[in-house]
Amino acid sequence: MPKDHGIGASSKRREDVRFLTGTGNYTDDINVYGQAYVAFVRSDVAHGRITGIDTAAAEAMPGVLKIFTGSDFEGVGGLPCGWQVTDRFGEVMKEPPHPVLAQGKVRHVGEMVAAVVAESLQEARDAADAVMLDIEELPAIVDMKKAVASSETLVHDEIGTNLCYDWGFVEDNRDAVNQAIKGAAHVTTLELVNNRLVANPMEPRVAVGDYNRAGDMSTLYTTSQNPHVIRLLMGAFVLGIPEHKLRVVAPDVGGGFGTKIFHYAEEAFCTFAARALKRPVKWTSTRSEAFMSDAHGRDHVTKIELALDEANNFVAVRTETYANMGAYLSTFAPSVPTWLHGTLMAGNYKTPNIYVNVKAVFTNTVPVDAYRGAGRPEATFQLERVIDKAARELGVDPMALRRQNFITEFPYATPVAVEYDTGDYHATADKIAEIADFAGFETRRKESEAKGKLRGLGINCYIEACGIAPSNLVGQLGARAGLYESATVRVNATGSLSVMTGSHSHGQGHETSFPQVVSEMIGIPEDQIEIVHGDTANTPMGMGTYGSRSLAVGGSAIVRATEKIIRKATKIAAHLLEASEADIELKNGAFSVAGTDKSVAWGDVTLAAYVPHNYPLEDIEPGLEETAFYDPSNFTYPSGAYACEVEVDPETGQVTVERFSAADDFGNVINPMIVEGQVHGGVAQGIGQALLENCVYDETGQLLSASYMDYAMPRADNVPMVTVDHSCQTPCTHNPLGVKGCGEAGAIGSPPAVINAVIDALHSGGFTHVTHIDMPATPNRVWAAMQG
Amino acid sequence: MSDVTMTVNGKTVSRAVRGNELLVEFLREQLRLTGTHVGCDTSQCGACCVHVNGELVKACTIFAAEADGAEVSTIEGQANPDGSLNVIQQAFQDHHGLQCGFCTPGMVMAAASLLKENPKPSEQEIRHYLQGNICRCTGYHNIVRAIMAASGQEVEGGAIAAE
Ligand code: FES
Ligand code: FES
């Protein structure tokens, strides 16, 4: 029987009630009394020198309070970068300044040049239209290889190059890898593009800055996945506001997918302007602004080589990747193509020699940073595509080739610096064969062929590193922050609990799943436990939600704090029961003395903690509230096997996904319903990347895909039902819940499965010259590939 | 500015509106009915869906003045009179048809219109009907299941849960 509460139950989400009745509290729903509105004047050229900003006409327009330009921000800090990568030669990366409002030059379409604050949004927008920008246009650089080669067109003149870093990993393995490839029996080479994407959470970004003169207190309401991180970065590095004078609130947030991790200029602007004007200042992004100001994702150009011996064992992998940084370094941008990508190049396989080279490049495009999966989808895509290509070249079954090379013994130290604690890749491979009905594929292929369609089956195995991350390790790798998580458990006098967490829910359902954990530990009903998150004023310093870390790291902090609570409550219970602490057991919300019928209810113990009349005051303090900070000792390593079946219309090149199945190993699962939902959503984003989505610039740096008219979001009729299974469970060995994280798997595991399926379909139709199609595999691209 | 009068969720309201004030702005800012969301500026996402005289309308595509005299209903008016979730809302909760909740009001309003027109839609009919509503979180799987369930149809599991 499935459980109906606690760990393992598909508890219905309590947050749904407010979202379903229109009573959620998203940032744009917040209006602060007396607020003014800002409209930004953004550059419509990709690269140019600002020669003049004429605000006179705009200033005279009704309602205008003040127009800000770069000169108002001269003494203000730039947006900081949270990760410093050191290159192959021991040099630190190039880190040009990232101003709030453009200083001297504009470097991408959408960069903010001026800001008009007015009484109403309408007035702000009208006046923004009247600000005259004089920009002397410079040649723009968009193509990464040209950018690296160019010494004339520089995104940042002062650093003398467009190369941010040239990273080698593991540099000491380089010669061994080159040797192994030279001596290999077979080498499969693949050049591919991991297409640039726009995360597109459905809620656009919003920032409301407020300033209270009486207390010299600034408050920022913002659409963030990590309010404490924003407070630290903006307060300490940009505006110079000490943390105790700055509060950041991220209320209900309508999806993030990585793009709401970063500290953005608009947040700093609204906070700054509110202080300058002594008025609240609000900005709500339009979708068009979002396309040109939210950090983009992916955008890698890669060459990968896979070397095999005579027996088809993998002997070496060598990659060379160009990774687009855009015009400025977004908060975590440098870490994505390096430590979140290179470390995953072993995949599920015992390849002994691996070398990864990444050149990070500045271009005149919007900054690129983490998007669901962040580095790991790029690693998986290369590896799983090149393995499929190798299988075809060698005439072997692609799953058999994978299985032969699977890592089977754990813990396993890869040649790319990580140690997988647990996994069972054969188990998920077996499971995918079952749930995707490999046995019935040939019949389905015949049915498709009878309709004049080509059918293909694509598989993919993935591993990811989640539960980000051990602070001391990432510190050595260049992180400028710790990556622990925090929790405060406050037990109220009558026994209910408030759990203050540094994690942040923007769709993940923490308000439901976190109480399941605490309820299981204490034995009180889930509805007695409230989750508080998203406000720096009432949560302990925490790093927020990304990298599939909330349960593995944030949940572990909650476990640790709850353990402290139980320890103290046990002491109180022992006193009340006049028994020895060692004999006290907590079960189903009551403390009892082992082997007797003496017991005291949870609520009586908690009441005693706050009304300490009969209480061991000489030994312990009154009250029942504990905080824990949890720093993981390793990453977690979810893994799995995915299968996709597509139909290709040979007349048009149109690809439709007919079946999609996912067999994941997430370790232990707290709420299966939520886990399955995470996989569904990730898979849809992966199918979107593989078939639909593409963020495109022309060579002058104009953004061609700047609205939902041009950027193809997956819609309900583009994606199939997804069969998901998470019954293969090898619990994580180093966190108290044994959980691994599930938020990104779908987006990591699906793109290679889709493209492998498309190639398989084309081969079945005799188009055997097609060895690769870059994403998105649009009808145009597929048809062109078929024509040769 | 002109004066408009309309019925919103059963209550008559009169307000002065700008000529270019969209219905969605009017609902959100003047009436503070913030359940109706804005997810785009090209009438593509459906987060703003409401009913105007019983028809499904993207509230970012019409001016408030055009709704003068109309009956408008929004997500805030969908629950049962006793405040409990209506059949569609309940099905969305039961089948995990929402994650971040931002697209959800539009989805619920669209689903209500669909079921009025087609009380027992097939999976394909549901997917086709929802073309104008983008959800970035759910992959639509559970939205489709929720709408099937709300229409009283058997819902295929689709998911194989762990023991
Ligand atoms: S806001 Fe109306 S369709 Fe997007
Ligand atoms: S639930 Fe987040 S966009 Fe649909």
- State the distance from the centre of ligand 1 to the C-alpha of A202, rounded, in angstroms: 10
Mean pLDDT of A752-759: 98
DSSP state string for A337-360: TTTTTGGGTTTTB--SEEEEEEEE
The per-residue pLDDT for A173 is: 94
Return the exposure string of A530-563: e unless at least 16 CB atoms fall within 10 Å of the residue's CB, then b. Answer: bbebbbbeebbbbbbbbbbbbbbbbbbbbbbbbe
Whether A205 has a pLDDT exceeding 60, the answer reads yes
Distance from CA of B153 to the nearest CA of A (A): 16
Chain mean pLDDT for chain B? 95
User: Which residue, B77, B108, B142, sits at the end of a domain?
Assistant: B77
Check which CATH number belongs to the domain holding B105 and give it.
1.10.150.120
- CATH 3.30.365.10 is right for the domain spanning A300-469+634-787: yes
Q: Indicate the pLDDT class of residue A3, thresholds 50, 70 and 90.
A: confident
On whether residue B42 sits in a domain, the answer given is yes
Q: Which ligand is nearest to the CA of A714?
A: 2
The per-residue pLDDT for A471 is: 92
Q: Indicate the pLDDT class of residue A760, thresholds 50, 70 and 90.
A: very high
| ipTM for the whole predicted complex goes beyond 0.90 | yes
The per-residue pLDDT for A465 is: 95
User: Which residue, B44, B77, B110, sits at the end of a domain?
Assistant: B77
Judgement on whether residues B8 and B68 belong to the same structural domain of the protein: yes
Mean pLDDT of A387-405: 98
Q: Work out the angle at residue A83's Cα, subtended by the Cα atoms of residues A79 and A86, and round it to the nearest 5 degrees.
A: 125
pLDDT digits (tens, 9 = 90+) for A697-741: 999 999 999 999 999 999 999 999 999 999 999 999 999 999 999
A422–B contact, CB cutoff 8 A: no
Distance from CA of B68 to the nearest CA of A (A): 22
Domain holding B141, by residue range, is: 87-160
Per DSSP (E only), the strands in A464-526 are 485-491, 497-501
Nearest to B96 among A669, A673, A729 (CB): A673
Contact A336, A196 (CB under 8 A): no
CA-nearest of A414, A459, A458 to A170 is A414
pTM, rounded to two decimals: 0.97
Whether A148 has a pLDDT exceeding 70, the answer reads yes
Chain mean pLDDT for chain A? 97
Whether A452 has a pLDDT exceeding 70, the answer reads yes
Judgement on whether residues B72 and B102 belong to the same structural domain of the protein: no
Judgement on whether residues B95 and B71 belong to the same structural domain of the protein: no
Q: Which residues contact A781 (CB under 8 A, 6 or more apart)?
A: A653, A773, A774
The per-residue pLDDT for A788 is: 86
pLDDT digits (tens, 9 = 90+) for A419-449: 999 999 999 999 999 999 999 999 999 999 9
Provide the edge-to-edge strand list for the sheet that holds A584-587: A584-587, A590-593, A599-601
B144–A contact, CB cutoff 8 A: yes
A74–B contact, CB cutoff 8 A: no
On whether residue B82 sits in a domain, the answer given is no
Q: Which residues of chain B neighbour A685 with C-beta distances below 8 Å? A: 136, 139
The per-residue pLDDT for B159 is: 40
**Kind of pairing between the strands at A217-222 and A246-249:** parallel
B135–A contact, CB cutoff 8 A: yes
Mean pLDDT of A235-244: 96
The per-residue pLDDT for B125 is: 98
On whether residue B46 sits in a domain, the answer given is yes
pLDDT digits (tens, 9 = 90+) for A154-180: 999 999 999 999 999 999 999 999 999
Q: Which ligand is nearest to the CA of B58?
A: 1
Mean pLDDT of A257-269: 97
Q: Indicate the pLDDT class of residue A126, thresholds 50, 70 and 90.
A: very high
Q: Do domains A300-469+634-787 and A484-630 have the same CATH topology?
A: yes
Contact A150, A80 (CB under 8 A): no
The per-residue pLDDT for B162 is: 33
What is the Cα–Cα distance from A104 to A106, expressed in whole angstroms? Answer: 7
Nearest to A13 among B42, B96, B128 (CB): B96
Number of domains in chain B: 2
Judgement on whether residues B24 and B67 belong to the same structural domain of the protein: yes
pLDDT digits (tens, 9 = 90+) for B75-128: 999 999 999 999 999 999 999 999 999 999 999 999 999 999 999 999 999 999
- CATH 3.40.50.720 is right for the domain spanning A484-630: no
pLDDT digits (tens, 9 = 90+) for A507-541: 999 999 999 999 999 999 999 999 999 999 999 99
pLDDT digits (tens, 9 = 90+) for B40-75: 999 999 999 999 999 999 999 999 999 999 999 999
On whether residue B119 sits in a domain, the answer given is yes
By most ligand atoms within 8 Å of CB, the mutation choice from B48, B57, B136 for ligand 1 is B48
Check which CATH number belongs to the domain holding B10 and give it.
3.10.20.30
Tokens of A87: 């290159």
At A120, phi and psi to the nearest 5?
A: -130, 160
pLDDT digits (tens, 9 = 90+) for A670-685: 999 999 999 999 999 9
| Atom from ligand 2 closest to the CA of residue B39 | 3
Domain spans, chain A = 31-138+206-284, 300-469+634-787, 484-630
Fold for domain A31-138+206-284? Aldehyde Oxidoreductase; domain 3 (3.90.1170)
Mean pLDDT of A751-765: 98
Whether B163 has a pLDDT exceeding 70, the answer reads no
A668–B contact, CB cutoff 8 A: no
- State the distance from the centre of ligand 1 to the C-alpha of B30, rounded, in angstroms: 18
Judgement on whether residues B68 and B8 belong to the same structural domain of the protein: yes
Judgement on whether residues B150 and B93 belong to the same structural domain of the protein: yes
Share of chain A above pLDDT 90, in %: 98
Contact A96, A159 (CB under 8 A): yes
At A661, phi and psi to the nearest 5?
A: -135, 145
Contact A500, A538 (CB under 8 A): yes
Mean pLDDT of A347-367: 98
pLDDT digits (tens, 9 = 90+) for A288-334: 999 999 999 999 999 999 999 999 999 999 999 999 999 999 999 99
Whether B161 has a pLDDT exceeding 50, the answer reads no
pLDDT digits (tens, 9 = 90+) for A177-191: 999 999 999 999 999
B108–A contact, CB cutoff 8 A: yes
Contact B37 A203 (CB under 8 A): yes
Contact A32, A207 (CB under 8 A): no
Position A305, amino acid? E
The per-residue pLDDT for A743 is: 94
Spell out which residues line ligand 2, taking CB within 6 angstroms: A 202, 254-255, 507; B 98-104, 135-138
Position A386, amino acid? V
Judgement on whether residues B69 and B22 belong to the same structural domain of the protein: yes
Mean pLDDT of A219-239: 97
The per-residue pLDDT for A362 is: 98
On whether residue B150 sits in a domain, the answer given is yes
Whether B158 has a pLDDT exceeding 50, the answer reads no
Tokens of B151: 């229409």
